Amino acid sequence: MSFFGQGQTQRNNPLLAQLEAAHQRRLSGQRIGLVRGRHLIDWVPTFQEWLGAGREDEALALLLEIIEAAEQIARVDAVPPPPEHTQRAVAIYQRRADESGELAVLERYAAACPFGAGDPMLLGRLRDLRGQ
């Protein structure tokens, strides 16, 4: 069954064809977006709890897994990953004065974004760190 049912067909509307293809990829890869067997969104409260309890190392490790899962979804949908997770990681690295960690997570974000897309604040911070 087609995702779009009635109306225009994929043949006469390329956008519908792209959306249908993305939908089919998502159906065939149900495991994308999972962190430790659960959807990435289910882990956000745990991350916040660990961070609040002073378990920053564990929270950061979990956050990096959340970022990877968000990147998987973004690749399938051909969109930039949501910036919120990267922003949280940047904040942790900045608090630690860990510029190399901050740079690595920002470079990862930029690499996951389709050309010309992405959060301007994160990409601007990356340029600042690179000295551009």
How does residue 1 score in pLDDT terms, banded at 50, 70 and 90? very low
Q: What is the reported pLDDT for 90?
A: 98
73-130 per-position pLDDT tens digit: 998 888 999 999 999 999 999 999 999 999 999 999 999 998 889 999 999 999 999 9
How far is CA 46 from its chain centroid?
A: 18
Q: What is the reported pLDDT for 77?
A: 85
Q: Name the residue ranges covered by the structural domains of the chain.
A: 14-130
d(CA 118, CA 4): 28
The CATH fold of domain 14-130: 1.25.40
d(CA 59, CA 38): 16
Q: What is the pTM of this model?
A: 0.75
